[in-house]
């Protein structure tokens, strides 16, 4: 019983003794830079989100440029088709006159 009492007493004292240390350590949370993560590839969430936004903006700009390029190609092809249609109509008219 004496051993149990000593264990109970030390267990009761331990949380009280750890509590101020736990409170103190939670107030002193180190940042990623303080922990020596520089050069490890670690990024904070804020930096990662900013990078994602920049990547998304770059992707959007690239897509917009590609769409514009495709639009120009389609317009050129449409003009070429119109011209070919005129030539076909002219050929048909000339063939009718020749008969």
pTM here is: 0.44
How far is Cα of residue 57 from the mean position of the Cα atoms in its chain? 10
Integer Cα distance of 44 and 1 in angstroms? 53
What angle (nearest 5°) sits at the alpha carbon of residue 48, between those of residues 33 and 62?
145
Tens-place pLDDT, residues 36-71:
667 777 766 665 566 688 889 999 999 999 999 999
Instruction: Determine the pLDDT at residue 2.
Output: 53
What is the mean pLDDT of the segment spanning 78-82? 98
Tens-place pLDDT, residues 8-47:
554 555 444 445 554 455 556 655 556 666 777 776 666 5
Integer Cα distance of 77 and 64 in angstroms? 20
Instruction: Determine the pLDDT at residue 17.
Output: 47
The answer for 36, left when phi > 0, alpha when psi is -120 to 50, beta otherwise, is left
Residues 6+ apart with CB under 8 A from 32: 42, 44
Nearest Cα to Cα of residue 43 among 56, 26, 57, 51: 51
């Amino acid at each position: 019983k004496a051993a149990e009492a000593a264990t109970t007493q030390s267990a009761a004292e331990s949380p009280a003794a750890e509590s101020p240390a736990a409170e103190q350590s939670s107030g002193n949370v180190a940042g990623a830079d303080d922990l020596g993560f520089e050069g490890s590839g670690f990024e904070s969430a804020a930096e990662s989100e900013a990078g994602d936004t920049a990547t998304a903006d770059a992707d959007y700009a690239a897509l917009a440029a590609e769409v514009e390029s495709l639009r120009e190609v389609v317009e050129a092809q449409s003009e070429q088709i119109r011209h070919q249609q005129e030539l076909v109509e002219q050929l048909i008219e000339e063939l009718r006159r020749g008969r």
